[in-house]
Amino acid sequence: MIIFFALLPAYVLSIFYRSFLSVIAAPVMGDLRIGPAEFGMLGAAWFMAFALAQFPVGWALDRLGPRRTVAVTMAVGSVGAFLFAQAGSANTATAAMALVGIGCSPIFMSSLYLFARTQAPARFGLLTSIFIGLGSLGNLVGAAPLALAAQAYGWRPTMLAFAVAFLLATVLAAVLVRDPPEVTDASGKHEGLLQGLKSIAAIGPLWLLAPITLVGYAIIATARGLWIAPYMMQVHGLDGIAAGHAALGMATMMVVGAFVYGALQKRAGRSKALVAWGTVATGIGFALLAVIGAQSLAGAILLFAIVGGTGFTYAILMAHAREFFPAHLVGRGMTFVNFLFIAGAGLIQWGSGWFVAAQRADGRDAALAFANMHWGFAALLLVSTAIYLAAPERKAA
């Protein structure tokens, strides 16, 4: 419970900051005078900074402990949160998002590290799913409530309020987080950053998990965090508030999906089949969105909700990867996997922004541009699942 009290408020804000841009896309793009490509870079900056920070964060968790790791990095994130609320240019906003990404980078990993070090392995997937499910309240706040607040008070004052909340969460985490006892390798020594990464890279099954780790969460995060509101506004003519409600529907299903997957994983005692079937269903959902999404508003809203629920396999895929890490590499191992999750999201967000801009520049309307993007999402999900099927369920005895 201490882990939840100490880090859950920070994780709620971390989830918020990876998904809020879609809902305030119109005022942010108008105020900063940017197009889809630059807007895609805003989201990508958070994810790429977050991803690159995973390597030092993993080392710091294993060597310094989560308390100092969280306190220092979240202080950096607080600076970025205040800077974003006052940004006057695309470059400043992009730098601010990168600082917030650094600030958010140890929050979830510190929680997983503490779960892995203090709880039985059989409980890891369930606790992770519950933590993600509760943290996904940030996804809900970043939908319709954010749209309403931005309309009533403006996006800058609204983001300033979230910056204050981030600072308070930083103080709470620094005060409450406690470090577990140190763990060394079999020789009684600590592996350095590079040696630890070399040991992780030598774990063969991780390479079979890598493709689905790179694209599975990334595509869901991109659809929810960047494009659902622009899609609803440009393809179906909704206003910002109505588009925010559509985003809320997808966000709600992501929360439901996290809890359902956690319960199923606890009951089945394994993760692989759940990840595979969930990702296939998500790929089919995006294919249907490409075919009929522009023809029916209700159908589009329903399909976005479905892919949000079926695609949120983040926790149980992390639990699957956890099976292959020795105790002294838990911190670096899980942050390496999280690097793949978040780096994939950064690349997909940047690539999708470039793709949509290129499609529109070639004369395609919004409906066709988004349909082509959704076809790409479906292909990536199905191909990565085919590779994932070759991965073992557990580490060989």
State the Cα–Cα distance between residues 198 and 196, nearest whole angstrom.
5
3-state SS assignment for residue 119: coil
Q: Which of 362, 355, 380 is nearest to 40 (CA)?
A: 355
The pLDDT score that the predictor gives to residue 63 is 79
183, part of any domain: no
Tens digit of each residue's pLDDT (9 = 90 or more) over 348-369: 988 998 999 899 899 999 999 9
Tens digit of each residue's pLDDT (9 = 90 or more) over 300-326: 999 999 999 999 888 888 888 878 877
395, part of any domain: no
The pLDDT score that the predictor gives to residue 108 is 86
397, part of any domain: no
Given a cut of 90, is residue 287 above it in pLDDT?
Answer: yes
Give the chain's domain count: 1
42, part of any domain: yes
Neighbour tally for 73: CB within 10 Å:
24
Instruction: Work out the burial of residue 188: count CB atoms within 10 Å of its CB; fewer than 13 is exposed, 13-18 middle, 19 or more buried.
Output: exposed
The pLDDT score that the predictor gives to residue 192 is 58
- Joined together, the tokens standing for residue 229 give 């509101």
Q: Which of 165-174, 180-189, 193-202 has the lowest mean pLDDT?
A: 180-189
394, part of any domain: no
What CATH number did the domain enclosing 259 receive?
A: 1.20.1250.20
Tens digit of each residue's pLDDT (9 = 90 or more) over 1-50: 777 888 999 999 998 998 888 889 889 999 999 888 888 888 889 988 98
Lookup result for tokens 């350095």: 192
Q: Tell me the average pLDDT across 376-389.
A: 96
Torsion of CA 199, 200, 203, 206, to 10 degrees: -170
The pLDDT score that the predictor gives to residue 51 is 85
Tens digit of each residue's pLDDT (9 = 90 or more) over 179-195: 776 655 544 555 555 66
368, part of any domain: yes
Given a cut of 90, is residue 263 above it in pLDDT?
Answer: no
184, part of any domain: no
Q: Tell me the average pLDDT across 48-75.
A: 87
Q: Which of 269, 294, 252, 27 is nearest to 138 (CA)?
A: 252
Instruction: Work out the burial of residue 396: count CB atoms within 10 Å of its CB; fewer than 13 is exposed, 13-18 middle, 19 or more buried.
Output: exposed
- pTM for the model stands at 0.74
124, part of any domain: yes
Domain with 34, as residue range(s), is: 2-178+192-388
